[in-house]
Amino acid sequence: MTDDTIDLPALRNEVEARHERMIADLVAYASLETPSDDVDLLEAGLAWIESWLTATAGPAAARRVHVVEGYGDTVTLEYPSPTGSSEWVSALCHYDTVWSEGTLADWPITIDGDVMTGPGVFDMKSGLIQLGHAIAVSDGLGLPRPGVRIVLNGDEEVGSIASRSAIEAEVSRGGAVLVFESAAEGAVKTARKGVGIFEVETFGVEVHAGLHPRSGASAIDEMARIILQLHGAADIDAGTSLNVGIVQGGTRTNVRAGHARASVDVRVTSSDEAARVEALFAGLAPHDPLARVQVTGGWNRPPMERTAVTAALYGRAAAVAATLGFELREVSVGGASDGNFAAALGCAVLDGVGGVGGGAHARHEWISVAGMVERSEFVVALLADLA
């Protein structure tokens, strides 16, 4: 994007003129509790979003819905380019949060100076508000932009189990993928770790531990050996961690345990490391021939690697930010998002395009109110560049 592509003072004036409305919109949106596990609240939240987008950015030209019982619906809304661009961008925006119904009762939305706090304002309700207003500003000023397909899903915080196929189908239609998750201390995310959740069970043979200490087989003994093996396979320098976070087993102190279970969180930065970890779990075997090992679970999200196409997209975004007068940094983070699915399909992905603040999943979650202006301007300018 060159400096004369956009009238920057006009862009800034238009976004700043909308600032108070943006704040009010975010307060209204965040005042709707949308926990991942409450379908009725998710339905109400989604209805508000669609109504708000129609009022803010105009009616969508197309709407696709993906329904899985027990989860919030996944809805795609298409906003074709008003300037004739044949390019498209997918904007991934989840509307669920980790916060249960009733959280607002003792943690209401509050604004103190530049800080707005409340459940979901950072992760990731501010991102959607900024996107909606960016589309409105772009179209109101007659600026070029690609078509935008907004993908709204209500189960991201529980692994996007129901929405994954819909997300993959939408991003496969082509174009860059912008994920309106919160920024990482202002930086966008060009790489994320893949996440796996594995369940390991060991089965022994119960006998009296005092009368027959050499008989039977202890499931706990087997699990202890496996835990050491799993933790020993971590390679922190390579970005691979294995954490046995939950262990259960046994029935009585005087009985050799017949069963034990462990839940394991795995994080990897590359497909090669994912393959190594898969082989590790597949090769787990009992020490005692009377015992048995069973592994279930698997990968929740593949790694989001910094590919050449993602690096190129980041380069364009950084150049756009420079024309607006700020430096756009990039980082790699340990958490995963729906951007992981898109990256695994070969898409160029820029994650963390949403709110600037901190405290995701914590009761001090917050965003910078002033930061909404800068990020909205940035999205408008980036869409112009991608057109």
Q: Would you say 71 and 11 are in contact if contact means Cβ atoms under 8 Å apart? A: no
Determine whether 148 is exposed, middle or buried from the number of CB atoms within 10 Å of its CB (0-12, 13-18, 19+). buried
Q: Could you tell me if 180 and 122 are in contact, meaning their C-beta atoms sit under 8 angstroms apart?
A: no
Q: How far apart are CA 91 and CA 133, in angstroms?
A: 14
Of 33, 73, 155, 156, which is the active-site residue? Answer: 156
The reply to whether omega before 116 is within 30° of 0 (cis) is no
278 is catalytic: no
Instruction: Please list, residue by residue across 363-384, b when 16 or more beta carbons sit within 10 angstroms of its beta carbon and e when fewer do.
Output: eebbbbbebbbbbbbbbbbbbb
**Active-site residue identified among 96, 201, 305, 385:** 96
Burial class (CB within 10 angstroms; exposed 0-12, middle 13-18, buried 19+) of 2: exposed
Q: What is the DSSP letter of 182?
A: P
DSSP assignment of 189-227, as one string? EEEE-EEEEEEEEEE-B--BTTT-TTSSB-HHHHHHHHH
What the block records as the tokens of 249 is: 């087993």
For 223-356, strand residue ranges (E) read: 241-249, 259-268, 292-301, 330-333, 349-350
221 belongs to the catalytic site: no
Q: Which residue has 């196409």 as its token pair?
A: 309
Q: Which residues are catalytic?
A: 96, 156
